[in-house]
Amino acid sequence: MTNNIKVQRAIHNMTQADLAEKICVSRQTINAMEKNKYVPSTVLSLKIARLFKISVEDLFVLEDTD
């Protein structure tokens, strides 16, 4: 699974720390998600998508190999 978190942060002019604070996680968690080293929970995925005003499907892309 890949994601567009970094792209959405850039669109919304947010740092990793800004996003982390808004969704109550560490900056390291955001970094790990952006590097596809951590797959967030459903609740966390929904929080991020809601913050960026996009669907979860637009934020996370399930690949054929997943």
Segments making up each domain of the chain, as ranges: 2-61
- Reading the block at residue 19, the tokens are 């996003």
CA distance 60 to 63: 10
In this model, does residue 43 exceed pLDDT 90? yes
Average pLDDT, the chain: 96
Reported pTM: 0.90
Where is pLDDT greater, at 35 or 66? 35
- Fold classification of 2-61 (topology level): 434 Repressor (Amino-terminal Domain) (1.10.260)
- Residue 44, φ and ψ in degrees, nearest 5: -65, -40
CA distance 21 to 62: 26
